[in-house]
């Protein structure tokens, strides 16, 4: 399970801590950093990235420049508002009200990455590069590191590095595990795997 990193920029202490405790209990979610003012948040985001941002109305207003220069952030942001939650500003995905029920808030938080996952990129784990997909395919076909290296004009060492990265990204180490991964992610068909000649 990939862990999603959240940044909390909410000035009221209790609301921020409450959200942090709630987030840390959601499987697969981690709070990366907490801020109580806009300046620190802007400074942090200059050099760091976040999967998702939960921000209060006040800090959102103060950091409006940030969102103008980084419109991609809007997609990943949940607003904490004192106002009516049905009126989420158009560009934002979702907003929560401190008075809402726990289940409601949890649903909105998990809703962020459910829709992100459903984006029609491909049904591959988006974190694999094209090169890595090619290598997973070759591993599933039973090629050795040497054979893969020869076909892709790489050194064996580079192939091994790719394999290490693939394993740590997917959490799958064995060839058989990668093969099944490749089938269920349409990198290879089951026919290609079962019809490969015996060594």
The reply to whether 177 sits near another protein by the rule CB under 8 A is: yes
- The end-to-end CA distance of the chain, in Å, is 35
Instruction: Return the residue of 21, 49, 64, 129 that touches another protein, per CB under 8 A.
Output: 21
Q: Does 180 bind another protein (CB under 8 A)?
A: yes
Radius of gyration of the chain (CA): 22
For residue 104, state whether it binds another protein (rule: CB under 8 A): no
Which of 54, 112, 133, 170 touches another protein by CB under 8 A? Answer: 170
Residue 122 CB neighbours (<10 A): 12
Residue 32 Cβ vs another protein, minimum distance, rounded to whole Å: 13
* 167 C-beta neighbours (distance < 10 Å), count: 14
Are 132 and 162 spatial neighbours (Cβ–Cβ below 8 Å)?
yes
Q: Find the shortest distance in angstroms from Cβ 174 to another protein.
A: 4
Contact map string, positions 57 to 96, toward another protein, x by CB under 8 A: ----------------------------------------
What residues have CB less than 8 Å from 167, skipping those under 6 apart? 173, 178
Provide the CB-side half-sphere exposure for 124 (13 A, CA): 19
When asked if residue 173 is in the footprint of another protein (CB under 8 A), the reply is yes
> How many whole angstroms separate alpha carbon 117 and alpha carbon 115?
5
Pick from 15, 116, 154, 193: which binds another protein (CB under 8 A)?
193
What are the start-end ranges of the E strands in the chain? 4-9, 29-35, 52-56, 77-80, 94-96
* 179 counts as binding another protein under rule CB under 8 A: yes
Q: Does 143 bind another protein (CB under 8 A)?
A: no
| Residues that bind another protein in the complex, under the rule CB under 8 A | 1, 21-22, 25-27, 102, 106, 170-177, 179-181, 183-184, 190, 193-195
């Amino acid at each position: 399970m990939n862990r999603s990193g959240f940044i909390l920029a909410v000035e009221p202490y209790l609301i921020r801590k409450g959200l942090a405790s709630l987030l840390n209990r959601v499987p697969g979610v981690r709070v990366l950093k907490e801020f109580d003012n806009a300046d620190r948040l802007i400074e942090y985001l200059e050099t760091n990235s976040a999967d998702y941002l939960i921000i209060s109305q006040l800090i959102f207003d103060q950091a409006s420049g940030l969102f103008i220069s980084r419109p991609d952030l809007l997609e990943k942001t949940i607003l904490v508002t004192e106002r009516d939650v049905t009126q989420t500003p158009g560009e934002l995905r979702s907003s929560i009200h401190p008075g809402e029920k726990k289940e409601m808030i949890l649903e909105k938080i998990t809703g962020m990455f459910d829709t992100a996952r459903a984006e029609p990129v491909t049904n591959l784990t988006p974190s694999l590069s094209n090169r890595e997909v090619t290598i997973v395919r070759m591993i599933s076909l039973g090629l050795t590191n040497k054979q893969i290296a020869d076909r892709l004009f790489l050194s064996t060492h580079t192939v091994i590095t790719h394999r290490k990265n693939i394993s740590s990204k997917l959490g799958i180490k064995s060839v058989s595990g990668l093969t099944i991964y490749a089938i269920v992610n349409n990198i290879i068909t089951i026919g290609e795997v079962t019809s490969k000649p015996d060594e």
